[in-house]
Structure 1
Amino acid sequence: MVEKNRKILTCIVETIILCGKQNIALRGHTEESSNFKALLSFKAKDNSVLRQHLEEGDPRSKYLSPLIQNELVTICGEVISSEIVEACNKAGAFSLIADEASDASTMEQMSLCLRFVQDGTNMIREDFVGFAETESTTGESLANAFLENLRNMGVIVENMKGQGYDGASNMSGKTKGVQARVKTIIPESVYTHYKAHCLNLAIVHASKEAYPRNMMNIVQTIAFAFDYSAKRLLSFQSNLENDQVSREQMEKRKKLQTLCETRWAARADALYTFLSSFR
């Protein structure tokens, strides 16, 4: 019986992990039409033990309810984060990368990442270890929350040699910011402004000049013109099929890409696509 239950639970956990890896929602419009149950039923076609459990098992102990799904997701997350924390502690030194933002329910949420060198190798790891909620966004509140959550995860915070945040005053402030508060507790934790964020800010400011601003507006207008018209898009694809050079340069892309409003570094790909198809 123990062996049978382990096989059934293994199939359930593997299905949940598959949904997580593929970024597939567990639930659907109804519980019976959920992705989780559809994948589990498909898996049961070649697994007699699982099939018997789904068809004849006690409804009170099937381990398929949304509550059980959430518990298994939480357990999987704890196993993954504990492995990351163990590797981080073995490294002997790490940097904290963190940021805060409002989620869909307007709750302030912190994302925590650890950056360290894998013990015994030269591989740099940068791993996400979890979210944490906070009621305040002041430098003192966030700094205490960062350190408290790291300690609760088992991270040896005294090994922190660096900390990376964006340039907001509550994060980078010299006296009351998160970096200053953390540095009073861990003096060796050197603060570094996100390099990618600095690049993003530089591009934003450079694009305020007349020539790049006008160019971006024209590219965006043309992309919208093709994106919102089926006839124009069909004509674009037909001409692309007859142009071997442009088709190869666009690397199998079938349409122009609109420019991202926030991630300016991501606009490079959209501009490359536009330039490749421009005749």
Structure 2
Amino acid sequence: MALMTGKNCSDTLKMHENSPEHTKNMGSWKELESRIKKGQTIDKVELALINTERRRWREVLTRFVAIIHSLAERNVPLRGSTETLYQPNNGNFLKEVELMAQFDPVLKEHIARVQGGASPTSYLGNIIQNELIDCIIAAEGTAQIKEYFMGFLEAEQTTGEGLSTLIFKKLKENKQ
């Protein structure tokens, strides 16, 4: 291993500074430095796109939570017999989404993306509805929603009073 003297070191540095590789790398570094100062880096553009998409999803989900909350407050069921937008019997949740999309640009754009195939994720199905209900319950610390199949009951009276009496009788029997 040879020792570098002051002259050798100086000559080596000059040779390196004048090399095409060093010149190219310095140019790239100066360009990056300039773009960082102007806020024009690729990372910044990508980050802006990510933040825009994050805001869009937050706005969509905020509306879905509001719909679920509204239906739950009125004790209205969410789902129907189909989970497809603009279909008969698709349930109250999807009907509310359709209604809001007529007036709300966020939901209008979301539905357009879903129907156009631009967004493979719709967050319109029963799984996300259940997850949002769980989040609402966890955030508010209030009642839990539970569904049970109690069986088939034979109703002798189909009035509201007759049906509620039959249901309460079955509930009392099941608690034993």
- TM-score band, normalised by shorter chain: 0.3 to 0.5
- TM-score, normalised via structure 2 length: 0.47
Q: Which structure dedicates a bigger proportion of its chain to strand?
A: 1
Structure having the larger proportion of residues in helix:
2
Structure number with the bigger relative contact order (C-alpha 8 A, sep ≥ 6) is 2
If the length of structure 1 is used for normalisation, what is the TM-score? 0.31
